[in-house]
Structures are given as C-alpha cells and as structure tokens.
Structure 1
Amino acid sequence: MLDAHAWVCCDARMIQATATIRCAACILFLNGCAAPATSHDESRTASSASSPDNLSAATAIAHTRPLFDVMTFSQWQVVGGDARFELHALANPQESAAELTLVGRGPIPRNGFLVSPRELGDFTLTVDVRIGSAENPRAEAMNSGIQIRSRRMNVGQGNAAQWTIGGLQIEIDPSSRAWSGGVYEECGRAWLASLAENEAASAAFVLGGWNRYEIECIGPRIRTKVNGVAAAQWFDATVAGVLAFQVHGGASCEVAFKTPMLIEHGIHEWRALADEVSGSSGERCAWQSTIASTTRGVRLEIEGAARVDLLADDGARLASLSTSPEPKISAENKAKPSIVELLWMEGEGAALLDGVRVAQFACVTVPSRVRVLGESCAVLRAESLQRK
C-alpha cells in the first residue's frame, strides 16, 4: 500500500486530504494548491524562495530506485501554466512506487511543469514516455519534455510575478521534425543538440506508443537514448538543478511518463582555481594554472582579447579557444567579460564561448594545465569542475 499526502482544491478553499493509491486510483495536483496558507501567486513565490540550492544534502545512491520513492509525489509542485498532473498506479499486487505512471494534461495558455522538491547533480533517469492517447489522438500537434538541471525563473514584468522553469530540456517532439531526445534550453539558448544529423535517432520515436528514454547526466556531459538508439550528447557547465516534467502550452496536450527510475551518481561542483602567472616564450602569458587529474572542466571569465589553451603534461595543446577583441556591451551599456568553458569527460570534450559551443575536441591524454595568452587581457574569475 502506498500512502501519499496531497492538497486538493474544493470550492475555492484549501482542504487537507490523505490519498491512498490503489490500482486504477490517482492523486491530482492542481496548480496553486501546494500549500494551504498562501494564495496562488504567493505559493509560487514561496516555492521559489525555498527551493533547495544547497547540494550538500544530496547523497550518492548506488542502485536504481523508483523516482517517486526517492522524492514522494506529494513533495512535487506545479510551476507555470495550470497543467493537471495525475499519478496512476498500475495493476500490480505489490502496488510499488515503481509501477506508477505520471500523466500531465492541458490545454493551458503557457507551459506548465511538475517540479522536483530538490536538485539533482549526477544521475541517470530511465522512463517510458507516451504523448497523446486514444481520447486525445492528435499527438503530432503536441509537445513536451523532461527538464534536467533546471531552475525556477520569474519572467513577470514589474511587480507581477510569473514563475516558470528554465534550463536544459530533453525534448519530446512528435512533430514531423522528429527531434525527440534532443537537448533544448527552455527560456534560454533554444536548441543545443538537435537530431538534424541523426536520422537513426529521429526515426526511433514511435508516435502514439511507449518510448524508452534514457538520460545520463554525469559531470558536464549529458547523453540521451530513445528506444536504445543514441540520440544526443551535450557538454554544459550547469551541473545541478531541479528535474521537471512539462506539459506544453497551447493546443490540448496529454503526456504520460511510466515507471520513472532514478540512479544518483553523486555531485560535481565548481571550485576556485588558483592562478600561477608567469611568462611564456614568444607570447605573453597573462595567466596559467595547473589542474588536477580529476578535473572535468575549466571556466574562465576574461576581459579583453585572449587565447585559452588546455595543455597536456608535455605541453601539447588539447584544445584552444580565442575570445573576441571587440567587447560585448550589456543592457546597461557596460563592457561584459567573455565566459570561456572547456569541458571534458572520458576522452572527449567541448569548448564553449558565452554558452555557445564553438568546438569539440578529443582528450588523448589527461589535461594538466590551462593558460591564457594575451597582451592586454585579464582573468577576472577562474574555476575548475570537480567531484564533490
């Protein structure tokens, strides 16, 4: 027997209810009903303020567990559009949390999300996904996704709060484009890793049927599979955040997530990197630092034109990236520094400039040093990515 504690709406009042999940039973979550003492908008503000940012509370889990055992359904909250989420138990005599299907429905005017109560760092999520149903068959007109390493955002104007979820999304795309399993950034950079050049993955998604999604986020690397076919890979400096299930705004949308299973692998974090300024033959070395063999990335904030090199022990260049000599100007009409990110994992990596991937590289050996070359540049901040 699986007992769950939920808040439901009744005649515009909040009442506390205890729901017992049996076969064919469900729990309803309605937006704005997450707490009895606050209004619809106040509830969202409180949720955002209390979202767990301190990852020290998370612990590595060495085995697969049902997602709604790790974080019980009553702890999750709806953010954004007024999507309705139901948790259904399958016909299983043990009534395990492993045998649960989450169903999200619209229509809603803007995207709605069911958001985890805490952040995840490194993890693997396996879940079966179906979009559309016999009662709502026009799946090709729908859209959805699974948010990973994401965050709550207020996109309202002035004093009017309007909360949503921004960050990386693993796409559920039943349209003719067929980019299911690709990586998209909600409220950000848009498409990061599409399936435009991956015909096998594009054809793997079964319209109207169940599709097995495998999402692996370890260190800076994100990899996805759809029905066993490798779909997308992306390197990103964001290494922790909330998990969320999306119901897309607009036309009527219905999406189901069956038996979500989670493995937590631990946490990576960004740490300050000590500098060791010295000269370099033939070129001016503005900054350099040694890095540990366990490092999985370097992030630098640089002012002025510079070249950043990732070096092996023997001095060989593994990756190189140059910043623009033309300063970027912020909305406040101030010069903005460049953000350089060199990220790698298990022999492969990517170089990003201001969040845009400009190169991929192979780490034929373990990086041991990073240096910055330039005549009139300054390193304002330097960090390395390490396992916590």
Structure 2
Amino acid sequence: MRKNLPILSVAFFSLLSACISLSAKKQEVLFNGKNFHGWEGDTVKTWRIEDGAITGGSLTEKVDHNYFLCTRKSYDNFVIRLKFKLSGTEGFINTGVQFRSVRAAKPDYEMIGYQADLGDGYWASLYDESRRNKTLVSPDSMLVKKILKRGDWNDYEVRCENRRIRISLNGQQTVDYTEPDQSIPQKGLIGLQIHGGGKAQVAYKDMVLQEL
C-alpha cells in the first residue's frame, strides 16, 4: 500500500489541477475596465466609462426613458458578482441588473426579463421587467436599511440555478425565489439599466460571471 501512495498522490493532484483549470475557464470577466467589448447599447450619449467603471445617466439632465447596456452573450445557470454605486438629485432614482432577458421589439429601448432591482422601494428585490411588470419578491426593509451603503459602492450578487434565483446585497441574501411558471425562459442576456424619469447616475464595476 505504501509503495502506491506516491502514484495515487500524483493522480489525485492531476485531477484536482484539471478541476481547478476547468472552473477557471468557466469564470468570465464581463467588463475589462477599458472598453465596451462584449457589450451593446447607447455608448455615445447614455453609457460611458469613468474611472474603470461603466457609468450611465446624468446628475444634471433628466434621463428621458429607460436605457440598457447588454451583453452580446446569453447565459442560463450562473453567479454574477459586481459592485454598483447609485446616486441622484431629482425624480425617480432607480436602476437594476437584468438577467435571463431579451431586448424588446417595441419600444426598442426596453428589455424583457428578470431584474435584480435597485433604488428606494426596490433595493435588492426581484422585479419582472416588461413582462409581468411587478415585483416578484421584496426583501425585509429593515435588513436593507442596515446593510445598504447609500451613495457608495455596494456588492451585488445574483445566483441562478435552474428555476431558483437568489439575490444578495453586501453579503446578505435578500431574495430566494423559485419560478413556478414553466413558460418563463430561463436563459438570456445580462443587462445594466439606468431608469428614466429622474436625474440619476449609476456606475458598475468588477463584474465577474461564473457559469454553473
């Protein structure tokens, strides 16, 4: 038995190395901090890159309608982690992260699908954008008040496994939802939103997606 230990050890570490390598291949940096490679949307007027972050909206001019910056690739089962900072001076200050979503045909600036919502009354909730048009799950307001860093960078995580969706804000889970409607698609684009109707600005950075 003892003579076989070195051989077993080599085989074990080779297998472990292969598993680690496979896991690393599935992890994807969605934003490189420099350009919009892999994304599409209005990168002339609405979306820009400032200090290594994707930034949308304006603090001096009212955003006329919803705008979305979307990945060109679709995803089904994954964990996405990112940082966001939302600020505003007037009107409806709201944003969110779309997932398992598609671009709408009319109006063409909208998206259809799930949204990990952000903004007063919606922080870290799950909304169904341009489909059922309602909040599917709202988190405990006292928990959100305790963990939210207003006007500063916050950590956001969305985990999608089959029909189960979980959302976490700054390390605290706020949503655990399983989709009961079998007709709702469970694959689609990732999108970043700036909501219309207010003088608001959002920034996103450190976006990493791990396929499951």
Q: What TM-score results when the alignment is normalised by the length of structure 1?
A: 0.43
**Letter of the structure 2 residue corresponding to residue 249 of structure 1:** G
Alignment CA distance shift 1:104-1:122 (3 Å): same
List per-residue Cα deviations over 1:158-217 (Å, max 9, x = no partner): xxxx442111000111x2x3x31110011122110112x453135321111111001111
Q: 1:66 aligns with which of 29, 45, 48?
A: 29
Alignment CA distance shift 1:141-1:108 (3 Å): closer
How far residue 140 of structure 1 moved from its aligned partner, in angstroms, is 8.3
**Structure 1 CA distance, aligned partners of 2:91 and 2:147?**
15
Tell me the residue number matched to 1:125. Answer: 80
- Identity, in percent, stands at 24
Report SS of the residue matched to 2:197.
Answer: coil
* Equivalent residue runs for 1:109-148 within 5 Å: 109-132=64-87, 137-138=88-89, 141-148=92-99
Tell me the residue number matched to 2:40. Answer: 77
**Structure 2 CA distance, aligned partners of 1:163 and 1:207?**
28
Report SS of the residue matched to 2:144.
Answer: helix
Tell me the residue number matched to 2:101. Answer: 150
Off by >4 Å, runs of 4+ in structure 1: none
Q: 1:216 aligns with which of 146, 156, 159?
A: 159
On the 8 A contact 1:139/1:207 being kept in 2, the answer is no
How far residue 141 of structure 1 moved from its aligned partner, in angstroms, is 4.4
List per-residue Cα deviations over 1:67-126 (Å, max 9, x = no partner): 125xx72331116xx85111245xxxxxxxxxx311111433210000110111111111
Are positions 1:172 and 2:118 aligned together? yes
Are positions 1:87 and 2:49 aligned together? yes
Alignment CA distance shift 1:123-1:140 (3 Å): farther
**Structure 2 CA distance, aligned partners of 1:171 and 1:139?**
19
How far residue 238 of structure 1 moved from its aligned partner, in angstroms, is 2.7
How far residue 155 of structure 1 moved from its aligned partner, in angstroms, is 2.2
List per-residue Cα deviations over 1:28-57 (Å, max 9, x = no partner): xxxxxxxxxxxxxxxxxxxxxxxxxxxxxx
* Equivalent residue runs for 1:296-311 within 5 Å: none
List per-residue Cα deviations over 1:228-262 (Å, max 9, x = no partner): 11111112243110000001111112001121111
**Structure 2 CA distance, aligned partners of 1:152 and 1:258?**
22
Report SS of the residue matched to 2:63.
Answer: coil
**Structure 2 CA distance, aligned partners of 1:129 and 1:199?**
20
Paired residues in the alignment total 178
Structure 2: give runs of 5+ residues left out of the alignment: 1-21
**Letter of the structure 2 residue corresponding to residue 172 of structure 1:** L
The structure with the largest helix share of the pair is: 2
List per-residue Cα deviations over 1:329-368 (Å, max 9, x = no partner): xxxxxxxxxxxxxxxxxxxxxxxxxxxxxxxxxxxxxxxx
Q: Note the aligned Cα RMSD (angstroms).
A: 2.3
**Structure 1 CA distance, aligned partners of 2:82 and 2:200?**
19
**Structure 2 CA distance, aligned partners of 1:258 and 1:148?**
16
How far residue 66 of structure 1 moved from its aligned partner, in angstroms, is 1.8
How far residue 218 of structure 1 moved from its aligned partner, in angstroms, is 1.2
**Letter of the structure 1 residue corresponding to residue 135 of structure 2:** W
On the 8 A contact 1:183/1:232 being kept in 2, the answer is yes
Tell me the residue number matched to 1:101. Answer: 53
How far residue 145 of structure 1 moved from its aligned partner, in angstroms, is 0.3
Tell me the residue number matched to 1:228. Answer: 171
Q: 2:201 aligns with which of 254, 257, 262?
A: 254
* Equivalent residue runs for 1:283-322 within 5 Å: none
Task: Name which one, 1 or 2, has greater alpha-carbon Rg.
Answer: 1
**Structure 1 CA distance, aligned partners of 2:91 and 2:169?**
17
Alignment CA distance shift 1:194-1:86 (3 Å): same
Alignment CA distance shift 1:258-1:152 (3 Å): same
On the 8 A contact 1:213/1:225 being kept in 2, the answer is yes
On the 8 A contact 2:101/2:113 being kept in 1, the answer is yes
Tell me the residue number matched to 2:189. Answer: 242
